[in-house]
Amino acid sequence: MNSFWQDNPRMMNHLFEVNGVIEQSMTVKQEKMNEILQDLAKSGGKRVRPGLCLIGAGFGAKSFKSIYPLAAVVEMLHLATLVHDDIIDDATHRRGSLTTQKKYGKDYAVYTGDYIFTKCFELLAKNYELHHMRELSRAVSRVCVGEIEQFDGRFKTHDSVKKYLKIVGAKTSALLATSLAIGAYEAGCDEKLCRKLGKIGLHLGNAFQIIDDILDYKGDTSRVGKTLGNDLKQGYYTLPLIYALKTDDAHLNELLSKGHYDDADVQKIIERVDELGGIDQALELAQKYTKKSLKEISALPSCQARDDLEWIVKKLLKRDH
């Protein structure tokens, strides 16, 4: 786990416990598989999804300890999708380290991702009711559909902001929203509050992904943990570029016409997108979703969980990795 939660030591301590559940759940007798799984379990990451699950639970009456396995599951589901994403994208680095597929090969990576999925549902079946399995299955289904739609749209310059947000809502926001809502549900919150938290999670998720996409254009490689412009090289035209394309700039269209880009091409595209205001417009939309989240949060019952939720929403908007 990286330093994301260092300003919130109480939550950080809970997430250390969740990490323990993750590491234990991803321990197996088979030596090679255990090496790969432990490598993943200790690979760091912001732990946003399990953090949201615990924050959601903070609105209810149950102890956080009873939520640890559920929080572990949402992070493990996320890990499994990342392993498979890196295979598809042929990605070499994730979180500043070699990806599973690069370090161990695609075959091991496929089996590893599949195995993590099975452990998630084993943990759920052992500790919780069917509701969580159903909700998380729906969220992962949306993630898969969103990823397919994004993959199908590679190198297409006519995508709209509306379509981009539809994909983001599926591949990122759905699991974030579900993490927050099921934590509250498991802690005994009523359906109305769970729905409100889910709505906040969707707004938060949109802002989260937009910032991620901005960082692909102007982040610090050493902080982001992957090469800048990686989405561009894969043909994923995210929000900064979509906004820049609205200007119908001849120079930008010419740069994109190659259909494949080396490092020099990527740098030129990034510079042109910035000049055309694409990055600034994307940031404005992220700020808009953050404001929506904060407005919804202000109407929630006053408690530590509300403060934690407000803290993480603001933290995610201002992050540099």
Question: Whose CA is closest to 273, among 284, 261, 281?
Answer: 281
The DSSP secondary-structure symbol of 64 reads G
Sign of CA dihedral 315, 316, 317, 320: positive
Percent of the chain with pLDDT over 70: 97
Q: What is the pLDDT of residue 157?
A: 86
Whether residue 158 has pLDDT greater than 90: no
- Tokens standing for 173? 């926001």
What is the pLDDT averaged over residues 66-70?
Answer: 96
What was the pLDDT predicted at 229? 87
Domain total of the chain: 1
Q: Phi and psi for 89 in degrees, rounded to 5?
A: -85, -5
Model pLDDT, residue 317: 86
- Residue 170: name the closest of 144, 188, 208 by CA: 144
* Mean pLDDT, the chain, whole residue set: 92
pLDDT at 2 over 80: no
pLDDT band at 112 (very low <50, low <70, confident <90, very high): very high
pLDDT tens digits, one per residue of 177-217: 999 999 999 999 999 999 999 999 999 999 999 999 999 99
Residues near 29 by beta carbon (within 8 Å), at least 6 away in sequence: none
pLDDT of residue 220: 66
Q: Give CA separation, 163 vs 15, 153, 256, 321, in Å.
A: 34, 10, 20, 25
CB atoms closer than 10 angstroms to residue 223: 12
Is the distance from CB of 186 to CB of 132 less than 8 angstroms?
Answer: yes
Supply the pLDDT for residue 223.
Answer: 55
| The pLDDT of residue 259 | 79
Q: For the residues 77-82, what does the mean pLDDT come to? A: 95
Residue 98 to residue 110: CA distance in whole angstroms: 16
Is the pLDDT higher at 274 or at 2? 274
Whether the predicted pLDDT of 224 surpasses 60: no
pLDDT the model gives residue 260? 84
Q: In this structure, what CATH number is given to the domain that contains residue 211?
A: 1.10.600.10
Mean per-residue pLDDT, 123-147 = 90
Query: For residue 18, what are the contacts with CB-CB under 8 A and spacing of at least 6?
Result: 47, 50, 54, 68, 71, 72, 75
Note down the domain range covering 36: 3-318
